[in-house]
Structure 1
Amino acid sequence: MIRTLTYTVTEEEAGVSLLEWLRDKGCSRQVLAHLKNTKGLFKNGERPFAKEPVRSGDQIKLRLTEEAGSEGIVPVCLPFSVVYEDEDLLVIDKPAGLPVHPSINHYENTLANGVMWRCQQTGEPFPFRCINRLDAGTTGLLIIAKNMFSAAVLYSAMKKRKIKRTYLAVASGEIRKPGTVDLPIGRVSDSVIERCIDQEHGERAVTHYEPVAVCKVPGNGSYTMLRLQLETGRTHQIRVHMKAIGHPLAGDYLYAPEDCSADRPLLHSRSLAFTHPVTQEPMKLTAELPEDMKNYAEWKRREEDEI
Structure 2
Amino acid sequence: MANNVKPTKTPIFAETEAELESDAFFEDETTEVQDSAPERIEFRLNPQMCGERLDKVISRLMPEYSRSRIQQWIDDGFVTVDGKPGKGKQAVLGHEVLIIEPQTSVQDLAFEAEYIPLNVVFEDDTLIVIHKPAGMVVHPAAGNWTGTLLNGLLHRWPALKNVPRAGIVHRLDKETSGLMVVAKTLTAQTDLVRQLQERTVSREYYALVWGAPNLSGTIDAPIARNPRDRLKMCVSRSMFAKPAVTHFRRLATGMLEKFPVSLVLCKLETGRTHQIRVHMQHHGFALVGDPLYGKSHLARFFPRQALHAKRLGLIHPDTGEECLWEVDLADDLQQLLEQANLEWAE
Shared fold, TM over 0.5: yes
Q: Which residue of 2 aligns with 1:177?
A: 215
* CA distances 1:95-147 after superposition (whole Å, capped 9, x unpaired): 00111100120011211011111124xx7754312112211111111110000
Please state if 1:242 is matched with 2:280: yes
- C-alpha contact 2:114 2:147 (8 A) present in aligned 1: yes
Given candidates 215, 238, 247, the residue that maps to 1:200 is 238
Alpha-carbon spacing, 1:105–1:71, altered in 2? closer, same or farther (3 Å): closer
Given candidates 116, 127, 143, the residue that maps to 1:78 is 116
**1:1-307 counterparts in 2 under 5 A?**
72-120=110-158, 126-127=162-163, 128-201=166-239, 202-219=241-258, 221-256=259-294, 257-260=296-299, 261-301=301-341, 304=342
- Counterpart CA distance in 2 for 1:178 and 1:161 is 20
Q: Which residue of 1 aligns with 2:38?
A: none
Alpha-carbon spacing, 1:155–1:305, altered in 2? closer, same or farther (3 Å): closer
Q: Which amino acid aligns with 1:286?
A: E
- C-alpha contact 2:154 2:160 (8 A) present in aligned 1: no
Q: Which amino acid aligns with 2:154?
A: M
Task: Tell me the secondary structure at the aligned position of residue 294 of structure 1.
Answer: helix
Q: CA RMSD in A?
A: 1.9
- Counterpart CA distance in 1 for 2:344 and 2:197 is 36
* CA distances 1:45-86 after superposition (whole Å, capped 9, x unpaired): xxxxxxxxxxxxxxxxxxxxxxxxx99512112222001000
1:189 deviates by 1.7
- Counterpart CA distance in 2 for 1:148 and 1:81 is 23
- C-alpha contact 1:253 1:259 (8 A) present in aligned 2: no
- Counterpart CA distance in 1 for 2:190 and 2:313 is 17
Alpha-carbon spacing, 1:305–1:279, altered in 2? closer, same or farther (3 Å): closer
**TM-score with structure 1 setting the length:** 0.72
1:191 deviates by 3.4
Q: Which amino acid aligns with 1:287?
A: V
**TM-score with structure 2 setting the length:** 0.64
- Counterpart CA distance in 2 for 1:191 and 1:216 is 32
